[in-house]
Structure 1
Amino acid sequence: MKSRMESPAIIMPDVSQALQALGKALFASAEKTAIPSRTLFLSYLRASQINGDSVCVELHSRNALAAGETTERLLAVAAWRETEHFNDAERAALALSESVTRLSDREDPVPDKIFNEAARHFDEAALATLIAGIATANLWNRFNVSTRQIASVPAGK
C-alpha cells in the first residue's frame, strides 16, 4: 500500500504548525476544564475508527495508552455501547464523537438527546473543548484518508 501524496499538513508547514498549536490549546483547555485526556483520546479514536483513518487510530491508541488507558478499553471503543468498560461521561463523549463525525447520516446530525447528555457531564467550556477536539480529529482524518496515509507500525510491535 502506498500513499497518494504527502499529507497536506506536510506540504503546507504553516497549516501543520497551526494544527499543532490547536492541539496544544485543546489539551490545555481540557486540563483547565477537567476533561481527562483519556476521554479526549477515546473520542478522537472513535472518530478515526468511523472514518477509517489508520494513522489516527494508531496515534490516538498509543497516546491513550501513554495517558494510562487500558488495552481492554481501547479494544472496546468500537463497541462502546455493548460493554461496561466506560462511565456515563465517557459514553456521552463517545456518542457526541459519533454524531459530530457522521453529520450526513441523519436529518438531525447531533440530536438534542446526545448533546444534552454530553452537556450533563461537561460544562460549557469543557463541551466546547470536546466539540473542537472532535472536529479537529475529523480534519486530520480527512487529510489522511483522502491522501491514503499509511500507519507506520514497526514490524513485530
Structure 2
Amino acid sequence: MHSRMNSPAMIVPEAIQALQALGKALFASAEKTGVPSRTLFLAYLRASQINGDSVCVELHSRNALAAGETAERLLAVAAWRETPHFSDGERAVLALSEAATRLSDRIDPVTDEIYSEAARHYDEQALATIIAGIATANLWNRLNVSTRQMVSVSAG
C-alpha cells in the first residue's frame, strides 16, 4: 500500500504551521493546568486506534513512551475498560476520547455521564485542553486516513 499523496498539512504550509502552533499551545495548557502529557497521549492514541490511523498510533505510542508511559499500559489502551492499569481520571479521558471520536455512533455521543465524569477530574481549563486535543488528534487522523499516510518502516 502506498500513500495517495503527501499529507495535506504538509502541502499547505500555513496549515502545518497552525497545527504545530495548536499542538504547542495544547501541551503548554496541559502543563499549566496539571494534565499530564501522558494522559493526552493516551487520549490521542485511543482516537487514532479507533480511526485506524497507523501513523498517529505509532507517533503517540512513541511520544507516550518518551514521556514515561509504560509499554504495558500502552498495550492495554484498546481494552482500557478491562484492565486495572488506568486511574479514574485516565478512564474518564479515554471514555471522552472514544465518545468524541465516534460522533456518528449514537444520537448523543458525548453523554452527560461521560462529560460529567471527565469534569469531576479536571477543571474547565484542563477539560478544554483535553477536548481540543482530542479534536486535534481526530483532525490529524482524518488527514492521514483519507490520504493513506503510511508509517515509515525503519531497518532495525
**TM-score, with length taken from structure 2:** 0.99
Which residue of 2 is the match for residue 120 of structure 1?
120
Amino acid corresponding to residue 39 of structure 2 in structure 1: T
Gaps of 5+ in 1: none
1:49 corresponds to? 49
Q: CA deviation at 1:152?
A: 1.0
Aligned partner of residue 65 in structure 2, secondary structure: helix
Match of 1:99 in 2: 99
CA distance in 2, matches of 1:93, 1:153: 30
Following the alignment from structure 2 to structure 1, what is the Cα–Cα distance between the partners of residues 142 and 74? Answer: 22
Name the CA distance, whole Å, in 2 between partners of 1:101 and 1:140. Answer: 12
Alignment correspondent of 1:90: 90
Give the C-alpha shift of residue 153 in structure 1: 3.1
State the match for 1:75 in structure 2: 75
Q: Distance in 2 between matches of 1:130 and 1:153?
A: 30
Aligned counterparts of 1:117 and 1:104: Cα–Cα separation in 2: 21
- SS of aligned partner of 1:42: helix
Instruction: Report the Cα distance in structure 1 between the residues aligned to 2:71 and 2:155, rounded to whole angstroms.
Output: 19
Aligned twin of 2:65? 65
Q: Deviation digits for residues 5-61 of structure 1, max 9, x if unmatched?
A: 010011101100000000000000000000000000000000000000000000000
Q: Deviations over 1:46-91 (max 9, x none)?
A: 0000000000000000000000000000000000000000000000
Letter in 2 for 1:135: A
Unpaired runs of 5+ residues, structure 2, are: none
Give 1:32's aligned residue.
Answer: 32
Distance, in Å, in 1 between the alignment partners of 2:115 and 2:63 is 26
TM-score, reference length from structure 1: 0.98
Counterpart CA distance in 2 for 1:155 and 1:131 is 36
